[in-house]
């Protein structure tokens, strides 16, 4: 969003009339936040979870030389017998890290260990279990293939080839591959500074006694954990009481340092819902009704230089809206490219499901293998957006399209396993 050139059609924070489809809300948010600008060089060993800012190219071959895949005997393929046996004289040993220095001639072989360079004059390794050794003589039978058990230089990474693409989020495997090519430092995107806060007079922090009408604040805790799983460090601004002044002060202060502010609660149309009011006065905000259940109300906007997400207060709603709308935006802000698409699998309903057309639903459910080997899925009994226990007992969402009505047992539905969410 460019505040200087705001036009209703292009303003990502513009209010939608009626319900906004989830894909449209996701698209607007991801496009608005854009890609990160700043990068930093860090040691490879500290880069787990970070996003690569520049494509890594191999300036060596991996492996750097032909080497043995087995413990055995290295020889030239011309020494393999067509029938019967050949007897070769062992002229030395090749160790991993201590190559055999000489040339292997006709009638000769070298004892070789896994990872040792192929000695000059050899191209094939026979496993030690497949030979007979008699003194210095090594006896080899038929059935071997020229070149067997030899790893080729560059077969993992060729010289000049791409090791990892810019935009990759670095997993242990990514780090290992880069290390195998001798990479010591990587350029990664700087991570966005994210501040979170809860709104609500009823909220008490854990460890304090509950007063009348109070409940414990759970959203900051689950939000922090969801952010940390994305590799983001969180500033926790605590609980903001339901007062206009306090909400304004907290949000303005957060916008001084944070690049992203995530609040929960206070975005409905109740009398104590001040978040949108403050954002309207001090920044730019769209108050959207996204056509999903749970989680209809969502505020998205800008406050100073910070992006703002106002999530609904109900704990399940705040988690669902985080996963569906905030997480893709944060992944984009972290430089992840392309954005991961949700993993959806097909499963058969174990029981009928009630669903009114009009909103895309994320029903908390459990997957199990059915008797016919197909996956079956059963929605949990309590689907209230306040019942956080449903997120603990579930291992997936059943994702029901907006137009979908009631379903019968045995019908196929799409399921998003929780394991695929980050």
Q: Which residues bind Mg ion (CB under 5 A)?
A: 200, 265-266, 313
Is residue 202 involved in binding ligand AMP (CB under 6 A)?
Answer: yes
Residues 141 and 154: their CA atoms lie apart, in Å, by 31
DSSP E strand stretches across 51-122: 56-57, 67-68, 72-75, 86-94, 108-112
Could you tell me the sign of the dihedral formed by the alpha carbons of 56, 228, 287, 308, in that order? negative
Is residue 265 involved in binding ligand AMP (CB under 6 A)?
Answer: yes
Residue 357 CA to its chain's centroid (Å) = 32
Q: Which is nearer to ligand AMP, 167 or 310 (CB)?
A: 310
Residues 135 and 107: their CA atoms lie apart, in Å, by 15
Size of the site for ligand AMP (CB under 6 A): 18
Is residue 312 involved in binding ligand AMP (CB under 6 A)?
Answer: yes
Q: Which option in ligand AMP, Mg ion, none does residue 105 bind, with CB closer than 5 to 8 A by kind?
A: none
Residues 247 and 343: their CA atoms lie apart, in Å, by 37
> Could you tell me the smallest distance in angstroms from the CB atom of residue 172 to ligand AMP?
34
Closest C-alpha among 405, 422, 417 to residue 326: 422
Please choose, out of 41-49, 121-129, 247-255, 307-315, the segment that lies near ligand AMP by the rule CB under 6 A. 307-315
Q: Which residue is nearest to ligand AMP (CB)?
A: 313
> Could you tell me the smallest distance in angstroms from the CB atom of residue 314 to Mg ion?
10
Q: What share of the chain is helix, strand, coil (3-state, %, to 5)?
A: 20, 35, 45
Calculate the alpha carbon distances from 8 to 5, 15, 268, 273, 310 in Å: 10, 9, 23, 25, 21
Q: Which of residues 209-238 bind ligand AMP (CB under 6 A)?
A: 215, 217-219
> Could you tell me the smallest distance in angstroms from the CB atom of residue 196 to ligand AMP?
10
User: Which H helix or E strand runs over 173?
Assistant: helix 172-180
> For 277, left (φ over 0), alpha (ψ -120 to 50), or beta?
alpha
> Could you tell me the smallest distance in angstroms from the CB atom of residue 52 to Mg ion?
40
DSSP E strand stretches across 265-419: 284-290, 292-293, 297-303, 306-311, 345-349, 360-369, 375-379, 396-400, 412-417
Among 200, 294, 295, 310, binds ligand AMP (CB under 6 A): 200
Is residue 313 involved in binding ligand AMP (CB under 6 A)?
Answer: yes
Closest C-alpha among 333, 322, 334, 362 to residue 218: 322
Site string for ligand AMP, 58-77 (x = CB under 6 A): --------------------
Q: Which is nearer to ligand AMP, 11 or 217 (CB)?
A: 217
Among 34, 105, 107, 270, binds ligand AMP (CB under 6 A): 270
Q: Which is nearer to ligand AMP, 113 or 272 (CB)?
A: 272
Q: Which of residues 85-144 bind ligand AMP (CB under 6 A)?
A: none
Among 68, 86, 198, 331, binds ligand AMP (CB under 6 A): 198
Among 266, 286, 301, 335, binds ligand AMP (CB under 6 A): 266
Residues 403/419, Cβ–Cβ less than 8 Å: no
Residues lying near ligand AMP in the complex (CB under 6 A): 198, 200, 202-203, 215, 217-219, 264-268, 270, 312-315
């Amino acid at each position: 969003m460019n505040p200087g050139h705001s036009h209703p059609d292009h303003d990502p924070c513009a209010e939608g009339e009626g319900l906004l489809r989830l894909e449209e809300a996701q698209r607007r948010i991801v496009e608005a936040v854009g890609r990160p600008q700043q990068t930093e060089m860090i040691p490879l060993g500290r880069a787990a979870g970070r996003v690569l800012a520049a494509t890594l190219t191999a300036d060596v071959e991996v492996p750097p030389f032909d080497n043995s895949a087995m413990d055995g005997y290295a020889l030239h393929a011309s020494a393999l017998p067509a029938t019967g046996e050949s007897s070769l004289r062992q002229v030395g040993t090749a160790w991993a890290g201590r190559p055999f220095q000489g040339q292997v001639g006709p009638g000769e072989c070298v004892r070789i260990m896994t990872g040792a360079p192929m000695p000059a004059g050899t191209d094939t390794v026979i496993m030690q279990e497949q030979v007979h050794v008699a003194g210095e003589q090594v006896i080899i039978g038929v059935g071997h293939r020229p070149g067997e058990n030899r790893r080729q230089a560059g077969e993992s990474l060729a010289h000049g080839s791409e090791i990892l693409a810019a935009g990759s989020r670095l997993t242990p495997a990514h780090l290992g591959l880069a290390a195998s090519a001798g990479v010591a430092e990587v350029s990664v995107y700087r991570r966005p500074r994210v501040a979170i806060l809860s709104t609500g007079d009823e909220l008490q922090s854990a460890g304090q006694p509950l007063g009348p009408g109070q409940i414990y604040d759970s959203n900051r805790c689950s939000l922090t954990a969801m952010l940390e799983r994305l590799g983001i460090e969180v500033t926790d601004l605590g609980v903001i009481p339901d007062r206009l002044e306090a909400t304004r002060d907290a949000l303005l202060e957060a916008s001084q340092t944070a690049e992203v502010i995530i609040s929960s609660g206070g975005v409905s149309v109740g009398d104590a819902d001040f978040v949108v009011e403050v954002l309207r006065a001090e920044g730019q905000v769209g108050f959207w009704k996204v056509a999903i259940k749970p989680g209809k109300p969502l505020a998205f906007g800008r406050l100073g230089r910070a992006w703002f997400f106002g999530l609904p207060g109900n704990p399940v709603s705040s988690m669902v809206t985080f996963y569906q709308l905030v997480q893709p935006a944060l992944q984009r802000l972290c430089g992840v490219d392309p954005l991961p698409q949700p993993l959806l699998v097909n499963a058969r309903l174990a029981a009928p499901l009630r669903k009114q057309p009009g909103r895309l639903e994320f029903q908390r459910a459990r997957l199990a293998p059915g008797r016919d080997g197909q996956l079956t899925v059963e929605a949990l009994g309590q689907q209230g957006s306040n019942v956080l226990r449903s997120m603990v007992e579930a291992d997936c969402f059943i994702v029901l399209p907006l137009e979908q009505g009631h379903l019968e047992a045995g019908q196929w539905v799409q399921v998003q396993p929780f394991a695929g969410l980050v």
